[in-house]
Amino acid sequence: MTQFDHQALRSTIAARAGSVSHNDIAPVLVARALQGEEAELTADGAVSVRTGAFTGRSPKDKFIVRDGLTDKSVWWDNSGAMAPEHFEILLDDAINALGGHRLFRQDLLAGADPRHQYGVTVLTPSAWHALFIRNLLIRPGEMVETSSAAMPVTIVHVPHFQADPARHGCRSETVIALDMTRNIVVIAGTSYAGEIKKSVFSLFNFHAPRQGVLPMHCSANLGQQGEAALFFGLSGTGKTTLSNDPNRPLIGDDEHGWSHDGVFNLEGGCYAKTVKLGAEAEPEIYAATKRFGTVLENVVLDADHVPDFDDISLTENTRAAYPIHVLPSIAKGSVGGTPRTVVFLTADAFGVLPPVARLTPEQAVYHFLSGYTAKVAGTERGVTEPQATFSACFGAPFMPLHPTVYGAMLADKLKSSGASAWLINTGWTGGGYGVGKRIDIASTRRLLTAALDGSLDTVEMRVDELFGFAVPVAVPGVDSKLLTPRQTWADPAAYDSQALHLAGLFRANFEKFGDAADAAPGPRLAQAAE
C-alpha cells in the first residue's frame, strides 16, 4: 500500500482553518457545543443534539475510490465507486470549505489490540461531533496499549459542505467517500454522526482480512474462564440487550476483530438505540443516558429537558453515544480469548423459527452470509405485514469485500477454535406478527445461558425437517411446546405454508452469492420449492 503523509494533510487543513483545538476533553467539548448553540443539556447533563434532515445513514451516498488496490477486491455490487480524480477534487473542496472555521481535532485509536490498531484523526467544525467520536473510539491512554505503528487514518468531516454530483462524481449533495489506499475519508452534507463511526468500521473491514483478522459487526462478552461469546444480529434482534449481562463482562457493543489470539473491540464506546428505552429492561444503557457527556441524537426532550424515549416524532433511530467504561461490567483491555460460542440473533416475525437451534459450522456460515431478520408492521412507513430482511455478514453496508471472503474466514475460525454456533430467535411464536406473540425475554435468556454454559451440548435434539438445524427437545424452565414452533400454531397447515415461504425467501436471497457460496447447508431446497 502506498505510504501517505497524513501529517502533511492535517497541517494543510490546520493552516487554512481559523483555529484548531486539539483533543479537547468531554467537559470542554460540551461547553463549546453549548456556546455554539449546537446542542442543549438534558436535565441530567447529557448533550442533546438534532441531526437535521438526516437521522440515519445515507447508504446510496457512500463511495469507495476505485483504484489499483480496490478495483479487483471490493464487491462493487454493494458499493458505489468514485474515480480517484473526483476524490481529489472533493478532498480539496472539503478542505477549502473548512477554511476560516474553528476546528476540533481528535486523535483517537481504533482497535484494542495494538497489533491491529488504527490512529484515527478526525477534523470537524462541530464540537458535538468531536465529542461523539471521542466517546465512541478509544481515547489514548485509557484501557488499552497504544501501538507505535498504528495505521494512520484521517477523516475530514464537513457537514455544512454540499457536494456537487457533476464535479465530485457523487449522487447528491451528500457524500461519504473512502480512499482505502491512503485511508482518507471525506464526509459532507450530513450531520448524522453515525457516518463517522461507520467509516472507521468500513476501513477496518477492508484491511483486516489481509492481516488474518475477521472483522465482525457484533457484540462480544466474556465468560468466567475468559472465553468470549459473539452476538451477531440486526437492529431489533436484542443484540445489545442480551450481550449486556452483569455476569459477563462486555468486550464491546458493536465492532470487533477475531485474530489468531482472540477477540478485540474496535471501539471505546457504545452507540445504543434508545427507542422505548426503559430502566427496567435495559438498566445499564438507561443509566448511561443520564450521564454528563453522553450524546443523545434526535431524542425529544419534554418541557423539563427530560428525554422522552417513547417519542419517535423525529425518528425511530434515536441514539445514545457514551464511553464503554461507564458500564458496570466491562472486559479488561476490551479484549477476550478465543470465542467458545457464536450466537446469531434473529427476530423472526413470520413465527416460523424455533427460539434456539444448534448450527453445524457449515450452517453457521450459511446463516452468517444470510444475515436474516424481519421487519414488522408499523416499524417503517409502508410495512403492513412481516418483511424479510437479509444483510450479509449482519453488516452488509460496511463490508466492502465480497461476503464470501468473510464467510470463508468465519469457517476457518470455527474450525480452528471448535466454537459452537447457535441461532436464537427473539421474534414471534404461535403465528406471525399480529397473530402470535413475541417470545418472552425470560425464555430467551434461559436458552442463551444454557447455550453459553454448555448445558445444551448434552440435551436431546431433533433435526428440523425443513431447515436442517438441530433443536432441543426439552430445556429446563422453558415450555417444551415453544421449542417446536409448529405446536404453538392453532393451524399446523398454516405454519407449514409460512415455513415453506420463509425457506423460499432464504433460497432466493442466497442466489446473489452465486457459485461462490454453498447453499446446501440452508433450507432443504426440494421442500422449499414445493
By annotation, the residues acting in catalysis are: 57, 198, 217, 235, 239-240, 254, 319
Closest CA to 473 of 490, 464, 491: 464
Distance CA 173, CA 320 (A): 27
The 3-state secondary structure of 347-375, one letter per residue: CCCCCCCCCEEEECHHHHHHHHHHCEEEE
Strand pairing class (470-472; 461-463): antiparallel
Compute the half-sphere exposure of residue 366: CA atoms within 13 Å on the CB side of its CA.
Answer: 23
Distance CA 34, CA 133 (A): 17
Distance CA 256, CA 265 (A): 5
Contact 125, 158 (CB under 8 A): yes
Phi, psi of 114 (to 5 degrees): -60, -20
> Who contacts 283 (Cβ-Cβ below 8 Å, separation ≥6)?
none
Helix (H, G, I), strand (E, B) or coil at 41: strand
Q: What b-and-e string marks burial along 100-113, b requiring 16 or more CB atoms within 10 Å of the CB?
A: ebebbbbebbbbbb
Distance CA 304, CA 298 (A): 16
Neighbours of 373 (CB within 10 A): 26
Residue type, 229: A
Distance CA 134, CA 117 (A): 16
DSSP single-letter state for residue 66: -
Contact 372, 303 (CB under 8 A): no
- DSSP bridge partners of 155: 122, 185
Closest CA to 471 of 454, 486, 459, 479: 459
Compute the half-sphere exposure of residue 404: CA atoms within 13 Å on the CB side of its CA.
Answer: 12
Distance CA 75, CA 190 (A): 25
In the block, cell 464540537 appears at 127
Closest CA to 157 of 187, 127, 179: 187
